[in-house]
Amino acid sequence: MKHLIKALLLLASALALSGCLEVEQNPPWRDGQYDGKPDNLPQQLRFSGDRLAWNAAMDNRNRHQNEYARMRP
C-alpha cells in the first residue's frame, strides 16, 4: 500500500511540474501589429514571385517521385 501511495505522489508531482516548464510561445506584438520577421512565400524565394513557375516545378517534382512512372516495363 505504501508503494502505491508513493507511486501516485510521484506521478502527481511529475504531472504538476510538467506544466511549470512551459515557455510562452506567443509572437511579439507592437501597436497591434506583428513585430517579427516577415516570412517569404516559397515562390518569392526561388522563382522571383512567379507562382505559376513554382506550381509547375512542384508538379514536376511530384511526378518524378512516383515510383510506378519511373519503372521500366
pLDDT tens digits, one per residue of 33-65: 877 778 887 778 888 888 899 899 999 988 888
Q: Residue 70 has which C-alpha cell? A: 519511373
In the predicted structure, residue 73 carries a pLDDT above the cut 70: no
Distance of CA 17 to the CA centre of its chain: 25
The pLDDT score that the predictor gives to residue 35 is 79
Confirm if 35 and 41 have CB atoms less than 8 A apart.
no
| Beta-bridge partner residues of 33 | 30
Give the pLDDT score at 56: 93
What's the average model confidence in pLDDT over 16-20?
Answer: 72
The gap from C-alpha 31 to its chain's centroid, in whole angstroms, comes to 27
Spell out the domain ranges in the chain: 40-73
Q: Which helix (H) or strand (E) holds 54?
A: helix 51-64
What is the amino acid identity at position 52? L
The cell for 25 is 510561445
